[in-house]
Amino acid sequence: MAVRLLSHELSDLCLGKPALRSLSVTSTIAEALEVLKTSDDNFVSVWSCDHKAKTSSGFESAAGFCDNYDDDDCRCVGKVCMVDVICYLCKDENLVSPSVALKEPVSVLLPKIPGLVLHVEPSCSLLEAIDLILEGAQNLVVPIKTKLSNKRKQHQKPSPTVTVHKGREFCWLTQEDVIRFLLSSIGLFSPVPAFSIDTLGIISSEILTIEYHFPASAAIGAISRTLVDQTSVAVVDSEGCLIGEISPFTLACCDETVAAAVKTLSSGDLMAYIDCGGPPEDLVRVVSSRLKERNLNGMLEHFSMSMSYGGFSSSSSDEESMAASPLPRSGRYSRSMSYSARMVRRAEAIVCHPKSSLVAVMIQAISHRVNYVWVIEDDCSLVGIVTFSDMLKVFREHLETIA
């Protein structure tokens, strides 16, 4: 059984994975927003191609069919999500005129850290994939082996945002995909999965925190960092007890106007604002009022238009109509009619205890679609965090013994 596990290639993990939606590196941030708001995935891949194909909307992008180019001509160079846009709009110069900021190329959102997204072959082994992830890769871009027939290509229109290259589409694999795959063979690692995370020494004390009453804007840098680290910002009280979190996974389910809330609310109020129940009416008024006080008229207009889309105005002269109309929710279901098919995150932190078993923490993280679990004591004091990366190190060491 162990030999069988080690014999698996990445193509085995790609079964059933959807083809990547993609954007050209020259697309605008506004175009990226359009794709993100209609996507079931939190991220969209960004491609650099020497050739171009027209999308159904007329934009030039990496989408379309391409059969006559080498692989080096068309490569995924990164990924973007709503959190990238939110942090970008939180910059002072972009708050003044969001409409201008959104016309910038999506390339300005890409992190300058090399190796976050890597191309690999379907024949890449499971061990090689784990090693790449432990070296810092977040997404492994894999060609989907099934080739489109010539007849099918003649009658099939290219998707506006799906990359098809040399008759092949692409998917990508994440830490979560690998952890899920290992969980399906968890018995092979016995007795390690039953050990506590404390015993295994995988609780990290390198965490980013902010106090509940501190301005959320003070956490913008930390939010950007946790997006790269695939973790979260812990919201704590003055004694270091965990209250909640400002998570990129939750922010990714919001729209870009949350940037206004990040810049004007406290960390505690921001948690309430981005919770999946939707922004409370009083906090919407606070955000609108503070934008006006700071003369951030560009963001105020953008924010008000978004709020008005839900059937009300956030201006003080229309408070009665606001109270009478349902608020648009900050979660992803405000971005698409397909809410029922989406995972919407709450601002409540997912926690475990130092004596929790490795397999229990794995299941917790997977069931909540996060890459980490906070570790707390019985009095809610924050001990640290356990990540998928920490878990993969344990399994990688065990695989060494059975290789």
Q: What is the CATH classification number for the domain harbouring 126?
A: 3.10.580.10
Contact 321, 245 (CB under 8 A): no
pLDDT in tens, the chain (403 residues): 556 677 788 999 998 898 998 899 999 999 999 999 988 889 999 999 864 444 433 333 334 333 333 455 789 999 999 999 999 999 999 999 999 999 999 999 999 898 999 999 999 999 999 999 999 999 999 998 655 434 444 444 445 556 565 567 899 999 999 999 999 999 989 999 999 999 999 999 999 999 999 999 999 999 999 999 999 999 999 999 999 999 999 999 899 999 999 999 999 999 999 986 678 999 999 999 999 999 999 999 999 988 776 444 444 444 443 333 334 434 443 443 332 233 444 557 999 999 999 999 999 999 999 999 999 999 999 999 999 999 999 999 988 776 6
Range of the domain at 119: 1-52+73-148+161-175
Domain tally, the chain: 1
Angstrom distance (rounded) from CA 285 to CA 216:
17
Tell me whether residue 318 is in a domain: no
Q: What is the 3-state secondary structure (H, E, C) of the chain?
A: CHHHHHCCEHHHHCCCCCCCEEEECCCEHHHHHHHHCCCCCCEEEEEEECCCEECCCCCEECCEEECCCCHHHEEEEEEEEHHHHHHHHCCHHHHHCHHHHCCCEHHHHCCCCCCCEEECCCCCEHHHHHHHHHCCCCEEEEECCCCCCHHHHHHCCCCCCEEEECCEEEEEECHHHHHHHHHCCHHHHCCHHHCEHHHHCCCECCCEEEECCCEHHHHHHHHHHHHHHCCCEEEECCCCEEEEEECHHHHCCCCCCHHHHHHHCEHHHHHHHHCCCCCCHHHHHHHHHHHHHCCCHHHHHHHHHHHHCCCCCCCHHHHHHHHHCCCCCCCHHHCCCCHHHCCCCCCCCCEECCCCEHHHHHHHHHHCCCCEEEEECCCCEEEEEEEHHHHHHHHHHHHHHHC
Q: In what order do the strands lie in the sheet with 242-246?
A: 208-211, 233-236, 242-246
Tell me whether residue 68 is in a domain: no
Tell me whether residue 259 is in a domain: no
Tell me whether residue 44 is in a domain: yes
Tell me whether residue 119 is in a domain: yes
Tell me whether residue 245 is in a domain: no
Tell me whether residue 139 is in a domain: yes
pLDDT of res. 383? 97
Tell me whether residue 131 is in a domain: yes
Tell me which residue has tokens 């491609």: 47
Which residues lie closer than 8 Å to 320 by C-beta, 6 or more apart? none
The identity of residue 131, as a single letter, is D
